[in-house]
């Protein structure tokens, strides 16, 4: 990363009782009781119900639980991948309204570990930002000057996903063959949600872990299902 900038991921909000509500929803489908009457069900029973439906793969009930993440200092390359996950809500820092006068960018490790390549990379980035700031001083609107900025440019984004969408996200992006930056993001997000909803995310991870399959068919991967 540029300077001291590092990816930062925080879980800033989630549905109250994130595991109780899906468990109530699961029980409701096999009960004559009204939804509000199920609130008196013991936590122990609800936990057992949720564990059972989760292991059976009946994941529609966990759509009732949402999680919101504050993600900062990641690249535009990452967010271009992230927003492909359709069942989610996104609010991203705008390059149209925000002047990014100070260089802030991601350096891939393959470049960072090579002193000469890193030097060239940083010189290129600094040149881009010099030109970007020059355009702004010439009264070129930020929405047009931003065309100069690279995919490496740091950005900030708020993301809200329901638990079922997150399970799918983790299957795809925790995979060893996912792009390294979004894989790091997925691993950080998974670590956070496991702390507040351990039953829902008990088996979460790449498809080789959750379904014992490899969608990529990478038989040389150390994680490839045996």
The residues annotated as belonging to the active site are 173
Strand order in the sheet with 66-75: 8-14, 66-75, 154-162, 89-92
CA 13, 151, 184, 172 torsion-angle sign: positive
**Which ranges of the chain would DSSP assign to H, the alpha helix?**
20-28, 43-56, 76-82, 109-112, 115-137, 142-145, 163-173, 180-196, 207-210
In this structure, the number of other CB atoms found within 10 A of the CB of residue 10 comes to 12
Place of tokens 């989610």: 88
DSSP state at residue 211 = T
């Amino acid at each position: 990363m540029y300077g001291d900038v590092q990816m930062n991921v925080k879980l800033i909000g989630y549905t109250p009782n994130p595991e109780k509500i899906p468990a109530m929803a699961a029980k409701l489908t096999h009960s004559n009781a009204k939804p509000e009457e199920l609130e008196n069900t013991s936590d122990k029973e609800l936990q057992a119900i949720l564990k059972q439906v989760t292991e059976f793969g009946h994941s529609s009930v966990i759509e009732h639980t949402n999680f919101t993440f504050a993600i900062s200092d990641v690249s535009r390359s990452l967010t271009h991948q992230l927003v492909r996950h359709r069942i989610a809500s996104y609010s991203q820092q705008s390059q149209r309204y925000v002047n990014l006068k100070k260089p802030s960018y991601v350096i891939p490790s393959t470049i960072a570990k090579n002193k000469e390549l890193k030097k060239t990379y940083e010189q290129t980035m600094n040149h881009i930002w010099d030109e970007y700031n020059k355009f702004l001083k010439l009264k070129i609107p930020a929405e047009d000057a931003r065309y100069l900025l690279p995919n490496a440019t740091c950005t900030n984004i708020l993301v809200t996903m329901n638990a079922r969408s997150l399970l799918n996200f983790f299957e795809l992006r925790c995979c060893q063959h996912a792009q390294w930056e979004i894989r790091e993001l997925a691993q950080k997000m998974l670590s956070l949600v496991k702390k507040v909803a351990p039953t829902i995310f008990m088996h979460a991870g790449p498809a080789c872990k959750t379904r014992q399959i490899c969608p990529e068919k990478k038989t040389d991967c150390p994680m490839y299902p045996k």
